[in-house]
Copies of this chain bind each other. A is one copy, B any other.
Amino acid sequence: MKLESTSEHVNQNLLNIQYAVRGPIVTRAAQIEKELEEVQALVACPQLLSSPDIPDDVKARARELLADCTKGSVGAYSPSQGLLVVRRRAAQYLSTRDGVPAYPEQIYLGSGASDLIKAVLSLFGGDVDGKPPAVMIPIPQYPVFSGTLSELGIQQAHYYLDEAQGWALMADELERSWTEASKGSAVRALVVINPGNPTGQVLTRENMEEIIKFAHRRRLFLLADEVYQENIVSKPFLSFKKVMHEMGAPYPSMELASFITASKGWAAECGARAGLVEIPRLTETARRAFEATRAVAQCPNLLGQCALDCVMKPPAPGEPSYEQFARELATVRRTLCERTATAHKKLNSIPTFSCNPIDASMFAFPRFSVPSRAAAAARAHGMTPDEFYCLRLLEETGVCVVPGSGFGQAEGTLHFRTTILHPREEFNYMMEQIANFHVKFLKEYEDERSEG
């Protein structure tokens, strides 16, 4: 008897997961914000509360957080939904942001946004009237969506962002995708990523209104991945919740889940695994189901919840930590502005490359092309042309980018995603390496063709 076989019939859903960006990709870009570090240190080790080196506002916040912890310790479980003090602070943040009331009981903390995206998507697993469920996701998209849908056994209905229109989300493309998917499946929800990842665009208000009307007309639950809301270069951020409310009835009563994380924005505390979802409206049954799956996960880690608290209410003017925070925030914002502009300019100067203006996020997602001989060489290696290209780039220059096929891309196009928040010299060096490599790569495969 071969005992290896006890796991032989493995869940096919897991094998269908594609997840391009885990592994060597360094998404960590901004410097850790010091006030947040200190709050984490204090709540982890409260005897530091007597240290003269810790500012008073940091101590006050740590005391407030500890007061909401069971037995005053981050070593205890919290409610599955998260500490009330943090959810209150998040409600305040959301109310101020949108000018629309937000409530702690409609906010759930999680181990990063990914954890909560999975929990919300899991609501839609299960056939409806004999039809398998489907969820609409953009192409390109961030693979947490495709990966999680695969894992849950939910079909993906793709809609394509329009690269020629600065990655706009066109209403007729939504309609096309819905119509096609509805033939064989029950389309349940629409995922919108705004600001875009990997594409870095920010939707216009008009575009958001079209999307909301479409979701309303087709009775779709709207998942708004808004995790890059603090990474926008030039315009103010508009949430889907705010736009729905400003559109007036019937839109404010639509079902919506909006995600925020401590891993992005100025904090960029990826390692804290802390995020939240606001779900203003949900049927009673769906809320019961959602809370059941949250309970099985016990609770999000407590120090992550404390980190999120700092993100929801950064130091205010007049507080001892404010000056340092403001200085660091300004640096992060200035870096983001510089890099998005430079990346856009430099990438567009490389032969065959085109890159839309980058409004937000911390990525560039340029399009490029390669000679047909290079595509053939990729096939001979059992790779897609962009995989082959990115692997060669890595091997020859040490520059690590993620092939566009990991995010999805229109048939016949090639892209890669690169982070852009490196220190300036490193960034410039990387851009130069990409440009030089590309010219050499073109020459290599064009020469081969002329020899052939």
Contact = CB atoms under 8 A, between A and B. Distances in A.
Interface of A: 1, 3-15, 17, 19, 22-23, 26-28, 32, 34, 37-38, 40-42, 44-46, 48, 51, 53, 69-71, 73-80, 111-112, 114-115, 118, 122-126, 128, 143-144, 147-148, 151, 186, 188-189, 216, 219-221, 250, 253-255, 263, 268-274, 281-283, 285-286, 288-290, 292-293, 295-304
B271 A112 contact: no
A126 B3 CA distance: 20
A122 B270 CA distance: 25
A26 B271 contact: no
Given A126-B9, A126-B10, A271-B76, A296 B114 contact: yes
Given A28-B71, A123-B11, A269-B75, A296 B111 contact: no
A83 to B, nearest CB: 10
A50 B263 CA distance: 27
Given A188-B6, A293-B14, A111 B273 contact: yes
B123 A296 contact: no
A300 B273 CA distance: 7
A146 to B, nearest CB: 9
Nearest to A301: B273
Given A13-B125, A45-B40, A293 B151 contact: yes
9 contacts: A4-B253, A4-B283, A7-B283, A10-B286, A14-B289, A114-B296, A144-B296, A273-B298, A301-B301
Contact of A75 (B26, B221, B271, B288): B271
Contacts of A46: 37
A300 B22 CA distance: 13
Nearest to A46: B37
A301 B271 contact: yes
A187 to B, nearest CB: 10
Nearest to A250: B3
Contacts of A77: 27-28, 263, 270-271
A22 B81 CA distance: 11
Contacts of A74: 271-272
Contacts of A7: 123-124, 221, 255, 282-283, 285-286
B123 A271 contact: no
A387 to B, nearest CB: 17
Contacts of A23: 79, 295
Max chain B CB contacts within 10 Å: which of A17, A34, A290, A298? A298
Given A6-B220, A37-B46, 5 more contacts: A7-B282, A9-B186, A114-B296, A118-B297, A122-B151
Contact of A302 (B37, B272, B288): B272
* Closest 6 pairs between A and B when the two form their complex, measured CB to CB: A271-B302, A41-B45, A14-B289, A7-B286, A273-B301, A28-B76
B44 A40 contact: yes
B295 A19 contact: yes
Contacts of A122: 11, 14, 151
* A7, A22, A23 — most chain B CB neighbours (10 Å): A7
Contacts of A269: 75
Contacts of A216: 1, 3
Contacts of A151: 122, 292-293, 296
A303 B19 contact: no
Contact of A285 (B15, B78, B125, B282): B15
A351 to B, nearest CB: 33
Nearest to A257: B7
Tell which of A6, A76, A281 has the most Cβ of chain B within 10 Å: A6
A289 B15 contact: yes
A282 to B, nearest CB: 6
Contacts of A128: 9
Given A3-B254, A6-B219, A255-B6, A292 B73 contact: no
B10 A283 contact: yes
A263 B34 CA distance: 28
